[in-house]
Amino acid sequence: MVAMRNPNAMLVNLDQGLAPSYQDTLCQAKQEKTANARNRASSENATAERDVYEELLTQAEIQGNVNKVNLLAALEKVNKALERRDASALFEELSSPALGLRGLKRENCDWYLKQLIADKEQKAERGSNEILQKEELQSGVDVANEAAQRFHKMLKAVDRINAAIRKGDANETVTELMNPDAQLPTVYPFAAPLYQRELATLQQQSPEGYLSNPELGVAVEMLSSVALINKALDTGDIGEVWKYLSSSVTGLTNVENENSQRYIDELLKLKAQSRAEGNEFLSWNDIQAVVDNVNTTVHEEHERILALGLINEALDEGDAQKTLQVLMLPAAKLADVNAPTAQHYQDTLVRAKREKAQDTQDESAVLWLDEIQDGIWRSNKETEEAEKFSLGILAINEAVDSGEVAQTLSALRSPDVGLYGVTPECDEAYQAELQELKKSMLANGDNKSVWVKHWVKGGYNYYYNIESRKGSWEEPAGFVQNSTQLSREEIQSTISGVTAAYNREQLWNANETLIVKLQARCKGYLVRKEFSNRMNFLKKQVPAIIAIQSQWRGYKQKKAFQDRLQYLRHHETEAVKIQSLARMHRAKKQYKGRLQYFKDHIDEIVKIQAFIRANKARDDYKTLINADNPPMVVVRKFVHLLDQSDQDFQEELDLMNLREEVVTLIRANQQLENDLNLMDIKIGLLVKNKITLQEVVSHSKKLTKKNKEQLSDMMMMNKQKGGLKALSKEKREKLEAYQHLFYLLQTNPTYLAKLIFQMPQNKSTKFMDSVIFTLYNYASNQREEYLLLRLFKTALNEEIKSKVDQIQEIVTGNPTVIKMVVSFNRGARGQNALRQILAPVVKEIMDDKTLNIKTDPVDIYKAWVNQMESQTGEASKLPYDVTPEQALKHEEVNARLDASIKHMRTVTDKFLLAIVVSLEKIPYGMRYIAKVLKDSLHEKFPDATEDELLKIVGNLLYYRYMNPAIVAPDAFDIIDISAGGQLSTDQRRNLGSVAKMLQHAAANKMFEGDTAHLSKINEYLSQSYQKFRRFFQAACEVPEPEDRFNVDEYSDLVTVSKPVIYISIGEIINTHTLLLDHQDAIAPEHNDPIHELLEDLGEVPSIESLLGEGAGNPSDPSKEALAKTEVSLTLTNKFDVAGDENSEMDARTILLNTKRLIVDVIRFQPGETLTEILETPASNEQETDHQKAMQRRAIRDAKTPDKMKKAKTTLEETNLTLAEKKAKIQSNLKKLTEMGKVNPENRYQDLINDIAKDIRNQRRYRQRRKAELVKLQQTHQALSSKATFYEEQVDYYNQYIKTCLDNLASKGKISKKPGDMKGKKSKQVSQKYTAARLHEKGVLLEIDDLQSSQFKNVYFEISPTEEVGDFEVKAKFMGVQMETFMLHYQDLLQLQYEGVAVMKLFDRAKVNVNLLIFLLNKKFYGK
């Protein structure tokens, strides 16, 4: 120790008391160092010089060991101080320089002691018994310092909180409570008034007027829970409310899980009441009070239910006094229970219980609270009435005894007695008769009894004491009926007898005049009888009288005739002269009149002559029309009809323009209709909260914009300079290639027919709607209708050939072609036909408000039960749920069913008549496809019977074409429905029933099985089928399209205008793509023309390349609008003959050109035959006339639009002379003869016949064109009306969306459509069901802790609240109000959307969500 203290050693922190420890530690350290040095020396070079300090301790090593000993000693001292729990000593030891601890503060010594003891105990728990090391001490000191600092901050924060509470500023209080230094639970600023109010109350209750941190912590934690409860009540979050109610943090007592729903309901009511009173928050005391009240109420309810059970048991035992005791139990809470009426209570309640068991057919039925209370009140009322009745009878007896007539009459007329037929005029008679009756009773003896027994209302006996004037329902002991008191029956009998005698007397007095009349009529009869006898005698002598008169008249007439004849014989010469003069005068007058007639009618004579000439012309035309070989003279007279006049060109232009507008309108309406349908779906989803209102508003803006701009945008392509119609060679070749391609597709149906079946059905249907119908211009003229029918025929034959294996597959399946044919013919073209056929009868049914066709026995039964209940106001004793067989056992159901069947037959007859007489109104296309369908099926299935084929035809014509229009006439524009309007449920059911009848009749299907109750009309169905059968046979009897439309292979070559289609860029690209993808399937032959056309087109172009630079921005990502841009294509045939004379010409073109040249020649040069005309040279005058006519033709052709200009070859032939034309004709005839097309032996009469046919077809074409113009105008008008209707729909939807936005702003949610709220302002009636009834309906699945046999005692009442979509559901058990549940319709829809099938009401009743929605819809929304 002395050596270590040597200053030269430079050792510090030496402690004399630790000298032994220094010695031991340094010795051990030196020994270890020496051993280590020797070990190194033995392994290294032993001769090397060694350092002395390799074995000796250095100054640093010595100091290090000293510090180590000092540290261990200081740690020991600290540990001992901790064991003594001496804070001051601990601080001194911690301050030791050997430890070198930082941040020591004397004022925190207690904190150090507490923290280090905790650290030491924690270390011991980990299984270590070592003392705390330096690092652990430093960590404990730091933690203690921080804890002390937080504590001091907390004290200051608590002081500020108390100051803020005293100040009364809620916001400042919350700010201080939220200070982290206060170390309080979470505080919610929205509840600042709640914190301020409650904490101020606690502060005032505190003795010191100061709240400590623990007190604040407990209070704030509870108040925060209360605040969250208030917030959850405001938002309606029931789960959160229960979470905090049941939390121990809230500190509420006696919170029962089974009462959770009732707590919440009461809190919601209290919250609303508190808010109305101006209190924003419920306090903890309020919530605890609600919990206590609910618990008390639930306890009372259970006690009440037990009391009800005791009452029912007492009733079963039959002891009136026991029943009285349980009725007077306080738990039962029954009012107005009187002890003297006990026996009547027993009788009344026993009878009520027995009646209930009979009504419910349940022997175990018990009386509920309201039924028991009603029985008590009824018994009290009957007791009161019995007392009044007894007193009234006694008063009558006393009045009779007194002999006072007025008093007796007054007593008899007392309403308490209930006597009828009392007449004041008979008062004395009443008195006398009653006194006489009493005397007779006294004569029989008086037993002096004071009791009388009365039979009162309800069939009970009431005993009345005439002395005490008190009554009882129980028979008194030793009861004997008083023998001198008149009973009500005796009094009533006496009154009735007296009154009847009085009435008879009055009747005779009133009818004295009638008796006199009767006597007078008897005397009159005797007089008339005597007169009749005299008249009969005279009538028997009529023949004798007539004979006498006729003899006398005959004598006088003969004498006058003989005198006149004698006079004429004496003057014969004078008579002849007079006659000759009269005849001469008449002849002169007749001649002059005839001459003057001719002069006056010179104009009519000229017309008659013209008429004769016209008859000659008509005869010639008939020859042209009907003759097999019309002569050249006749043909020459009418060849001028082949010329095209200015009117023809104008009509063609009008037809083209109108067709373009119609096609554009059709496409625009289709697009707008699709968007409206999508809008309707979006609104439907909006109502069910499946999409947001913003989505609907967005679509509405898009819809409105489309409606206004669609027509102008569709034809943009026709007005622009760039794109497919640009003036460049490349674009022109591309345009012509597409025109050639679509001409080939239009005129050759094989390609499209095969292409349809190369695609999936959904794509083929879309392809048909978008491309094929566009390619044929929706059959807007007869040529295109003819071509479309050819396509349908080809496609149908292809489908039957390749896809139909059984004949019934046409009916059971959904054939693509059949579906397309029906869709097309029910569209714009066939819609008018359906309207003409069905609209009158459909409108008649809809206007008949009394018509109500129901053929389901169960529906009829339920309607009958509902009607009885509505009329009587009492629940029917019949069961509500029955099977059809059970329903048919009731005569009323059978009577109503027979009436419905009678009405249905009457209405069905009207529809059937309207259909079978409308054969000519059905579109030709539908009838022709029906014929093709029948023939194709017969060809593939030759064994099929005629009935089987006709049933399939009926399936097409009626079921697919007409039936949907009958079932839903509003969807097919059969009737006019305003925007937002719709058919009623009864109207739809009536139409559906008729459609079902017609469907069975058309298919010859009888009612059997589930519909056997309708079997009585099977005979009617068989008769109707025969009518349908004849109708279907007649429908298939149609001419071929070639004859119907007068179209053949030459039609396109002779028409004035070329076919034009209007097609979008997207449809062009789509068609091109499909043809390239499937070209090998649709055209397996390599030399097929379509391969050449597709090769000319090359790869599929892009939308931008077809639109051109000015059409749109190629980088625009939205190409859908660009793809809908339309372009018109003038279709031409690439494989027609070119204008080069040296090119090879086919027979058809040579024949056409030859006929055209012959027409030009025979117009100017007459002759009997074509050979004669060709061999005879033309005169100069004929050549001149020909040249003038050709010049006029050239001028007219120059004015002709490009779409109507003829081929180049035709224009060149116009410049030839007659001689040149005849030479060319002769050259062509030689070629045609070599080809076998003409026969020179009959002088080329075949060519003349073809020209005659062209003349006839030209006339028919003009007629068809005029008819087509009229039809297109009608179609255009109808499409415009439909567009107007769609615009009204858009306005209606916009109005609805505006209403939704208004509701959203005012209520925060979307209501139903405006139209749905009309007429529904009145409060709706609540719906009441037992749990058993809801269980039968499937709405209620189970109730926790309650057997299904007890469901009959559970009662649910569903009431709509003032808030739309909210319903209050009340639950009662045996009539005792249990719980109330607020049901939100919007929540049900959300659960249904999320797929949740079951939910809980009252936390114990499981219900089916879907069926509950159905019940609410049916009962409250009429759905």
The C-alpha atoms of residue 804 and residue 811 are separated, in whole angstroms, by 11
Which among 1052, 1043, 1050 has a CA at the least distance from the CA of 1148?
1050
Give 873-919 pLDDT, tens digit per residue: 666 778 878 888 888 888 888 888 888 888 888 999 999 999 989 88
Is 1373 in a helix, a strand, or coil? strand
The C-alpha atoms of residue 1094 and residue 889 are separated, in whole angstroms, by 74
> What pLDDT was estimated at residue 766?
63
> What pLDDT was estimated at residue 1111?
45
The whole-number average pLDDT for the span 710-734 is 52
> What pLDDT was estimated at residue 525?
92
Residue 209: which residues within 8 A CB-CB, separation 6 or more? Answer: 203
Give 383-423 pLDDT, tens digit per residue: 888 888 889 888 989 888 888 888 888 888 888 888 888 88
Beta bridge partners of 1130: 1060
Q: Predicted confidence band at 1374 (pLDDT cuts at 50, 70, 90)?
A: confident
> Does the pLDDT value for residue 853 go beyond 70?
yes
Is 973 in a helix, a strand, or coil? coil
DSSP collapsed to 3 states, 848-878: CCCCCCCCCHHHHHHHHHHHHHHHHCCCCCC
Which of 618-622, 660-664, 813-817 is predicted with the least confidence, judged by mean pLDDT? 660-664
Give 74-131 pLDDT, tens digit per residue: 888 888 888 888 888 888 888 888 888 888 888 888 888 888 888 888 888 887 777 8
Residue type, 1281: S
Residue type, 446: D
> What pLDDT was estimated at residue 1207?
47
Which among 187, 153, 158 has a CA at the least distance from the CA of 170?
187
Task: State the burial class of residue 1241 (Cβ atoms within 10 Å of its Cβ: 0-12, 13-18, 19+).
Answer: exposed
Which among 1411, 1333, 1271, 1366 has a CA at the least distance from the CA of 360?
1333
In whole numbers, what is the pLDDT of the chain averaged over residues? Answer: 79
Q: Which residue has the higher pLDDT, 1211 or 507?
A: 507
> Does the pLDDT value for residue 1358 go beyond 70?
yes
Q: Which residue in this structure is represented by tokens 């924690």? A: 122
> Does the pLDDT value for residue 644 go beyond 80?
no
Q: Predicted confidence band at 1298 (pLDDT cuts at 50, 70, 90)?
A: low
- Count of Cβ atoms closer than 10 Å to residue 225 Cβ: 23
Q: 1295 to each of 505, 677, 1136, 1281, how far by Cα in Å?
A: 78, 17, 58, 21
* Lookup: tokens for 1371: 């639950």
Query: Would you say 170 and 192 are in contact if contact means Cβ atoms under 8 Å apart?
Result: yes
Per DSSP, 1353 falls in state G
Query: Would you say 1150 and 1091 are in contact if contact means Cβ atoms under 8 Å apart?
Result: no
Beta bridge partners of 850: none
Query: Would you say 1063 and 774 are in contact if contact means Cβ atoms under 8 Å apart?
Result: yes
* Lookup: tokens for 1012: 């056997």
Give 46-61 pLDDT, tens digit per residue: 554 555 556 777 777 8
Beta bridge partners of 472: 463
> What pLDDT was estimated at residue 1422?
59
Residue 770: which residues within 8 A CB-CB, separation 6 or more? Answer: 1067, 1070
> What pLDDT was estimated at residue 1139?
39
> What pLDDT was estimated at residue 1303?
60
> Does the pLDDT value for residue 253 go beyond 50?
yes
> What pLDDT was estimated at residue 770?
65
The C-alpha atoms of residue 701 and residue 466 are separated, in whole angstroms, by 91
Angle at 373 between CA 368 and CA 376, to 5 degrees: 130
The C-alpha atoms of residue 105 and residue 95 are separated, in whole angstroms, by 9
Q: Predicted confidence band at 930 (pLDDT cuts at 50, 70, 90)?
A: very high
- Count of Cβ atoms closer than 10 Å to residue 1353 Cβ: 20
1180-1199 vs 1147-1164: helix crossing angle, rounded to 10: 120
Q: Predicted confidence band at 252 (pLDDT cuts at 50, 70, 90)?
A: confident
Query: Would you say 200 and 165 are in contact if contact means Cβ atoms under 8 Å apart?
Result: yes
Beta bridge partners of 1357: 1328, 1370
The C-alpha atoms of residue 284 and residue 251 are separated, in whole angstroms, by 9
Residue type, 254: N
The Cα diameter of the chain in Å comes to 218
Give 1006-1058 pLDDT, tens digit per residue: 888 778 888 888 888 888 989 989 998 999 998 888 877 777 554 555 454 67
> What pLDDT was estimated at residue 649?
63
> What pLDDT was estimated at residue 931?
92
Query: Would you say 1406 and 1399 are in contact if contact means Cβ atoms under 8 Å apart?
Result: yes
